[in-house]
Structure 1
């Protein structure tokens, strides 16, 4: 009992962190997942990697007409993948996710405690930091354990074997492209917290231990892309804009200003308000440490703006041209750490009780809003009547937010019983990947390739079906050009889609504007390897022959053969 009392804050905030799992288990008897990146790409790449580990080297050819190279698999040599040999894909997914949440929570708590922060604020900081990271959907581990690295940089004058093992594992499970900038910035950040007797030589030892490990595990990707004669789509990415546009995008990123027409905005809004208050308090603070951290944060923001503007390209001449494809805005990986540190320091320095209570409340609301974002939206879709959902969408589209309470708190807008058959969430692991439905499709298409319309093409890959489309962070540029012929007429009708595909193009999807007037070129799809089309709706096209409608008794699954 004494142990529970001593650690009550840790346990309370840990339960709040796990509300992401607890709430949907109570409501749906299942865990709800945000498919963005996690299910759309990360899990599928982990699956293919596990297949390679098990000896199925041909599995990489499931992707993009077989044009994805083995050295494009960024996580190929991550040690965490070894677990996927022994665990099912679903168990591995949740093991990795819970491990990441736990590491981020406890590593920040450890850092805060080492900075003489009381248990309450340390645990609160851990909750906020771990919750913010849900926005970033990082596929590597560095961002989750970054506070622990800072803890070592600040507190350790010598390292034990266990520390070296941990540092090596951190590096071996991290991404060079996503994490290298944050790693560099931790060194100067640590100077604001170190004691007078600190031996800074050990800081560089910590840095190089992670850096060398990070470099080794990413060598295949670095050398494979640098020395290959195959140009990738990243060589032609337009990832930077004007200096003024970069300032605007950075401002929107810091204060989490997203699409106002999406209900998700209201779940992110509390954190944006918290950020604004914390930065305002930091600017007004007389605490030297808070001021110094704020000044350094402003420098980081300037680097973020610079990295997102075309101005930086002036330096990429001659041999440095290879840096053009690097997204320097990955510097943003340190923002959650900066903001959470400023949050707890301001909590300790504020004298006014009312402001303290406000920040405590906002911090907890922010964390809970982020944890419950997807489960709460799925709850609304499950219990709200279709007419109410349509009305809610219209309210957001028209920016008429004052009507939101009238819709949400009107009892006639809700079904009276759960399980009415109106809506069933697809944001669970099994329902997203539709293993039974795609097994039915696999038995028909066998080793042929497919194109997906209004369906995530990576679901097909997860079910061992070869595809010509997908979601990839790196792939041959000539394939991007070939695939564009399939969607060119659709892109011509939609400037936003055209700009996305031509300037970015990680999602190689069968984009369309009107399902009743599809302009997709299925003959072009056949030329790059597709024999079948899987769709969520019926398609009328002279080049398609219906194979099954409502395949496997699924209302929104259609299969066509291209001829």
Structure 2
């Protein structure tokens, strides 16, 4: 338990109040809230619902999800049942679960960064305000929701590891290492963090600091807990099953100068799954602090800041050059380099950037009274800027959760079809298949990156002529295929066509014979298909609702 001074209590209460205000729209608005669509509403939130009603929560490692792609989707594609987030969505309404998950993640992120700074990077009461603001800023970053503590939990884990490394381990440290794996993902953050910790330990050995058995044991211990929690992932990786969609994933495609450009883009702007919002205020603070270190020869005193400053760029460099086509000969020899995304070492950047931000503010504030005021303004402006990245602000032009999943509208479609949903298969055009899945429909299309390769090839026959007409979607499907959608050349990668659209699909060429062979009976299209009869499709009815973002044209095969 943290020992708090009156000053510390004041700042901690302020931080918790800010977090409460920041999170309040989720609990007040609930289904009327605006939240992230990409890799969230279009996927994970629907997956949790599908899993909870599938009867496969504890399904075996060879089990399948009956509702998706003819029952060929592996149960393992939906992750472990020992993740807390899975149970939140299983036991609670979607937006209550979402709000609680956001609160748990942001509070743990604040506590972890605050403890890390207070104990190991900026100890002393003098730095309590700075530590509080930096930790709060870190907790307000717009992290990827289903990543949970995969990135934002790293400071808490590092705090525990550093305690153990110094020989000051307590039960609290091992409790952190034990429970974090139940609310984080090893492939979405902690594989890279733990391997970095192993390098850290090895560096200590090389520098003559001894073998530190407790430190390496703690790294192994947390890895072991992750392996137990993520046993489905371990099984899928170690046991060679049928070829899957990841076997055609191709990442090494960038020429050298495009990789260089991506390096600086990532360094300056970050990445959608680990948004750091660091460009306007944090980067200038880092460069100002680095200037003072350089001009005053503070290399030894500020070696941690200098290390983090350099590491930040190296992580962006590694991320970008993972996609450099020079890797091709290596990936051809070692296939797992294509199926596992080693670029994700850049997921360490949120922790690195905000820890170095705190150190930079300290360096700036030590340069005199006026610079001390400048450091405070950097902290305040960063917090204000992050507040503008609240979901309710940045996604205000997107559908609300209620409008996105459109349960009332799809209930009308279900009643119109008037057959048990498991008796027929559907696919969607112009909207994400996750919407139909969320509403209980059995879909031939899906968004998953781990499904049988044979199914991908079979599904491709349905859209083969459309792919031939559009290079972008052809490469997108063939070289990745995570979105196994009814792509059309006209719409390309647009799958959120709202009900006020005036578009019509013209010259559509689907192989509906293959669609029917796969069990397909209905297509939910967001826009009318002008040549439906040429595709052996009949318009049954048009569905619309005030609570839906979509207008659905229900087509039936004949």
TM-score scaled by length of structure 1: 0.79
The question of 1:519 aligning with 2:491 is answered no
- Select 2:556's aligned residue among 545, 549, 561: 561
- Aligned match of 1:401: none
User: What corresponds to 1:181 in structure 2?
Assistant: 192
Taking a change above 3 Å as real, the CA distance of residues 177 and 269 of structure 1, as seen in their structure-2 partners, is closer
Q: Deviation per CA, 1:222-277: give whole Å up to 9, x if none.
A: 33354334111111111123343333223212211789xxxxxxxx8963223431
Work out the CA distance in 2 between the residues paired with 1:140 and 1:498. 33
Q: 1:104 touches 1:145 (CA, 8 Å); kept in 2? A: yes
**SS of alignment partner, residue 375 of structure 1:** helix
SS of the counterpart of 1:451? strand
Show CA shifts across 1:359-383 (max 9, x none).
2243123311322xx422555x5xx
Corresponding residue of 2:338: 324
Looking at structure 2, the residues matched to 159 and 269 of structure 1 have their Cα atoms a distance apart, in angstroms, of 31
Number of residue pairs the alignment of both structures matches: 503
Question: Which structure has the highest helix share of the two?
Answer: 1
Match of 1:66?
Answer: 71
Moved more, 438-447 or 538-547: 438-447
Deviation at residue 558 of structure 1 after TM alignment: 2.3
Q: Structure 1 residue 335: deviation in Å?
A: 0.5
> What residue is the counterpart of 1:333 in the other structure?
347
Q: What do the CA deviations read for 1:132-179 (whole angstroms, capped 9, x no partner)?
A: 3x2444535332211111101222325444543432222244333222
Q: 8 Å contact 1:255–1:272 — kept in the other structure?
A: yes
What are the equivalent positions in structure 2 for 1:204-223 lying under 5 Å apart? 204-223=216-235
How far residue 41 of structure 1 moved from its aligned partner, in angstroms, is: 1.4
**2:523 match: secondary structure:** strand
CA–CA distance in 2 between the matches of 1:173 and 1:27? 25
**Comparing 203-212 and 431-440, the one that deviates more:** 431-440
CA contact (8 A) 2:36 2:395 kept: no
**1:99 corresponding residue in structure 2:** 104
Label 1:75 to 1:281 Cα distance change in 2 as closer, same or farther (>3 A): farther
Change (3 A) 1:191 1:341: farther
| Compared CA separation, residues 356 and 159, structure 1 to 2 (3 A) | closer
Closer, same or farther in 2 for the Cα pair 1:498/1:93, shift >3 Å?
same
Gaps of 5+ in 2: 492-503
Q: Give the drift of 1:477.
A: 1.7
**TM superposition shift of 1:521:** 0.6
Q: Secondary structure in 2 aligned to 1:228?
A: coil
Q: State the alpha-carbon separation in 2 of the partners of residues 214 and 250 from structure 1.
A: 31
Distance 1:546 1:4 in 2: 69
Q: Which residue does 2:133 correspond to in 1?
A: 124
Residue 48 of structure 1 deviates from its aligned partner by: 2.9
Q: Secondary structure at the match of 1:450?
A: strand
Q: Distance in 1 between matches of 2:186 and 2:387?
A: 31
Query: CA distance change for structure 1 residues 137 and 520 in 2, over 3 Å: closer, same or farther?
Result: farther
Query: Partners of 1:189 and 1:477 in 2: how far apart?
Result: 39
Counterpart-to-counterpart distance in 2, 1:206 and 1:505: 38
Deviates more, 1:177-186 or 1:204-213: 177-186
Q: TM-score, normalised by structure 2?
A: 0.80
Instruction: Report the counterpart of residue 404 of structure 1 in structure 2.
Output: none
Q: Distance in 2 between matches of 1:60 and 1:478?
A: 17
Contact 2:64 2:72 in 1 (8 A): no
Matched, 1:427 2:400: yes
SS of residue in 2 equivalent to 1:533:
strand
* Residue 304 (structure 1) aligned with residue 277 (structure 2): no
- Is the contact between residue 79 and residue 172 of structure 1 (CA under 8 Å) also seen in structure 2? yes
- Per the alignment, residue 95 of structure 2 pairs with 90
Q: 1:276 aligns with which of 283, 288, 295?
A: 283
The one of 404, 411, 414 aligned to 1:439: 411
Say if 1:278 and 1:342, in contact at 8 Å, map to a contact too: no
Change (3 A) 1:210 1:548: same
Q: CA RMSD in A?
A: 3.4
CA distance in 1, matches of 2:526, 2:267: 37
User: Do the aligned partners of 2:163 and 2:173 also contact (CA within 8 Å) in 1?
Assistant: no
Instruction: Decide whether aligned partners of structure 1 residues 337 and 533 sit closer, same or farther in structure 2, where only a CA change above 3 A counts.
Output: same
| Residue of structure 2 equivalent to 1:142 | 150
Contact 2:251–2:338, Cα closer than 8 Å, also in 1: no
**Stretch of structure 1 that moved more, 448-457 or 29-38:** 29-38
Q: Give matches, 1:229-378, under 5 Å.
A: 229-240=241-252, 241-256=254-269, 271-284=278-291, 285=293, 286=298, 287-316=302-331, 320-350=334-364, 351=367, 352-353=371-372, 355-371=374-390, 374-377=391-394
In 1, Cα distance between equivalents of 2:90 and 2:515: 34
